[in-house]
Structure 1
């Protein structure tokens, strides 16, 4: 759980910084600042997503793990975003793996709490809808460009 002294740290994540004050106040008791180490897997493929992460000064990679164990990066998540968006799309798993590419801090919150807050509407709902659209668009565009001759 975070304290009110942690609010300036929380505001370093752009999604959290744009939340309406009353929504941030409701979420605040459920937010936890965690340290992520290099290569730490925070979301595993095809396993339930227990937590979502809002990077503060860390950088997360979303990768596809191939059958031979090699990985292909599908996207990066920095302080502009959130890892674990699949829980907002009526699924509790993802075929992707998310890991810390650059170690640092992130805000962690139970997926069920974010899903509940998302379902009530408000600024969190709007922000995360826009973020999902933007993240998926960039991921698809980037992967599509890799296929160009």
Structure 2
């Protein structure tokens, strides 16, 4: 899945998958946006104002308990996806927090405009529903990994997913940040990173993590990585690959 959307001039896999007619319908309503780290794009129990289609960067979807005392990452979104699932499903307000992990850029559309356009074109909405389906698979596999995977397997899966979505040679991530994403203590992340590095799978130095053996990381995941990625390839082929 590694950064496949770089090959398409529209920059985002969902936008790239649209027919010319649907893209020309949507494009006048799109604005170019920049993402800053920690920007909040959606907030639980609040109305969604904009839907974002990232070109670069990494966005996290966070599940929040009813009393707001507990949080856990449900999934991540990059060049392959979009925010605003509650708008597409006509089920507002949002019930997750969505924020920027790694800065980047992309396009955005007002929620009201997108709702209007989906009413005009069922094929446009169908394209968005495909992404939501793939994201649900990703979230389900996150739950599986959290329940059954060892910490090093969960970390390997997360690093592969982030590497799929972030161009360049390596990821700039602190141990504290990874601990929050995985819902564990910082010390556990440090030990897991050391284990992956000792196996020759990554190189970790001062907040910069470089994946040097992706196939080895996939083997480490023991099947916890790849299900959503294969479904993404199937649904969005031939524009993906």
- Range class of TM-score, shorter chain: 0.7 to 0.9
Q: Which residue of 2 is the match for residue 91 of structure 1?
A: 91
Report the TM-score when normalising by structure 2.
Answer: 0.54
Q: Which residue of 2 is the match for residue 143 of structure 1?
A: 143
The unaligned stretches of length 5 or more in structure 2 are 1-6, 150-241
Count matched residues: 141
On the 8 A contact 2:8/2:16 being kept in 1, the answer is no
SS at match of 1:140: helix
On the 8 A contact 2:88/2:125 being kept in 1, the answer is no
Q: Which residue of 2 is the match for residue 39 of structure 1?
A: 38
The unaligned stretches of length 5 or more in structure 1 are 1-7
Deviations 1:67-125 (A, max 9, x none): 33x53111100010000111111212122100011101021101122222223334322
Q: Which residue of 1 is the match for residue 56 of structure 2?
A: 57
Q: Cα–Cα, structure 1 residues 28 and 78, in superposed 2: closer, same or farther, change >3 Å?
A: same
SS at match of 1:91: coil
Greater RCO (Cα-Cα under 8 Å, separation 6 or more): 1
Give the CA deviation at 1:17: 1.1
Distance 2:23 2:76 in 1: 25
The structure number with the bigger radius of gyration is 2
Give the CA deviation at 1:131: 1.1
Report the TM-score when normalising by structure 1.
Answer: 0.85
Using the TM superposition, name which of 112-121 and 97-106 deviates more: 112-121
Q: CA RMSD in A?
A: 2.0
Return the structure number with greater strand share. 1
